[in-house]
């Protein structure tokens, strides 16, 4: 039995406009898309491992033989690929939207060297959550990222959709992922679709939804 889920990104949640739009598109084709909240145990204290653990919990609550088809956005794209690499028998196909690859080495690029040093020193960095409220994001999300590969080795067909004007996660990261996948033995099919948009993919939602449904449905 196939189950569909949208894995939201960093500082996002189940009520994200992108996730809701995708769920509506899939519903119009008779497919139910799960929109889980992956800010676990809380947004401030989450780590890559805690998010992956929540996906384990969700899977355990489904019927025996459940196989997933996932759409992951930004950090959720990385998490989807990582969970698929850990559980190849549980994931059939993936769509990754501007996936947040190699985040562990990019904090200084995103925040600046001084800000990252301050984050490590005091143990938290204030970040707005999906509601816009500032939260003290724990340093352990950075430490935990070191336990996970920058470019997960997935064994299922994967379509990456990436905005060519993305300044948050530059397109080059998805291009690198595609090249690495081609070099891996027994690699699964992976393709990259470039769209004329930024990281939000807000201006090409219908195109993204159509590409996702075509790949997964």
Cβ neighbors of 215 (< 8 A, separation 6 or more) are 93, 95, 157, 159
The pLDDT value recorded for residue 64 is 83
Count helices and strands (H / E) in the chain.
8, 8
The whole-angstrom distance between residue 201's C-alpha and the CA centroid of its chain comes to 14
Q: Does the global pTM surpass 0.95?
A: yes
Per residue of the chain (217 residues), give pLDDT as tens.
Answer: 899 999 999 999 999 999 999 999 999 999 999 999 999 999 999 999 999 999 999 999 998 899 999 999 999 999 999 999 999 999 999 999 999 999 988 898 889 999 999 999 999 999 999 999 999 999 999 999 999 999 999 999 999 999 999 999 999 999 999 999 999 988 899 999 999 999 999 999 999 999 999 999 8
pLDDT of 104 reads 84
Residue 51 phi/psi, 5-degree rounding, is -65, -45
3-state secondary structure labels for all residues of 39-98:
CCCCCCCCCHHHHHHHHHHHHHCCCCCCEEEEEEECHHHHHHHHHHHHCCCCEEEEEEEC
Show the domains of the chain with their CATH numbers: 2-216 (3.40.50.1820)
Identify the pLDDT of residue 205.
98
């Amino acid at each position: 039995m196939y189950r569909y889920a949208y894995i939201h990104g960093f500082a996002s949640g189940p009520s994200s406009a992108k996730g809701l739009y995708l769920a509506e598109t899939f519903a119009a084709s008779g497919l139910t898309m799960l929109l889980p909240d992956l800010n676990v145990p809380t947004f401030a204290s989450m780590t890559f491992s805690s998010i992956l653990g929540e996906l384990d919990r969700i899977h355990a609550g489904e019927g025996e033989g459940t196989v997933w088809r996932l759409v992951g956005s930004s950090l959720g794209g990385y998490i989807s690929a990582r969970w698929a690499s850990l559980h190849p028998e549980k994931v059939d196909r993936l769509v990754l939207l501007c996936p947040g690859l190699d985040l562990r080495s990019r904090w200084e690029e995103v925040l600046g060297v001084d800000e990252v040093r301050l984050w490590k020193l005091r143990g938290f960095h204030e970040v707005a959550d999906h509601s816009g409220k500032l939260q003290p994001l724990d340093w352990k999300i950075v430490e935990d990222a070191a336990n996970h590969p920058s470019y997960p080795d997935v064994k299922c067909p994967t379509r990456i959709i990436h905005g060519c004007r993305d300044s948050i996660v530059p397109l080059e990261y998805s291009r690198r992922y595609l090249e690495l996948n081609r070099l891996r033995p027994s690699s699964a099919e992976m393709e990259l679709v470039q769209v004329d948009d930024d990281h939000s993919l807000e201006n090409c939602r219908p195109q993204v939804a159509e590409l996702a449904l075509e790949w997964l449905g």
